[in-house]
Amino acid sequence: MEDSQYLEDDGSKNDRFMLVLNKELGELKEVRIDAFQQLHEKIDDLELYLNKKMNEPECGSDNVEYK
């Protein structure tokens, strides 16, 4: 009986370990999603800023050069 009790305890430890890992994985996915959202927002802001700058005339000149 001691061997079966040991196996049950080991199985319970594994189950708890899997639950903890699953929770951690879920939290990491949330962090990743949030980071990608922030990155895309910054890219969108940068794109709007650059479009605005490209459309501004440079000192009365009609030629806009990319630098």
Which of residues 36 and 66 earns the better pLDDT score?
36
- Domain count of the fold of the chain: 1
- 54, 64 contact by CB (below 8 A): yes
- Taking only the tens place, the pLDDT of each residue in 7-63 is 667 788 899 999 999 999 999 999 999 999 999 999 999 999 999 999 987 655 555
- Taking only the tens place, the pLDDT of each residue in 48-59 is 999 999 998 765
Q: Report d(CA 3, CA 32) in Å as an integer.
A: 43
- 63, 53 contact by CB (below 8 A): no
- Could you tell me the pLDDT band of residue 1, with boundaries at 50, 70 and 90? very low
Residue type, 4: S
List, in order, residues 6 or more apart from 64 with CB less than 8 Å away. 54, 57, 58
Phi/psi of residue 56, each to 5°?
Answer: -80, 135
The answer to the question of residue 66 being in a domain is no
The answer to the question of residue 4 being in a domain is yes
Domain range for 9 is 1-54
The answer to the question of residue 65 being in a domain is no
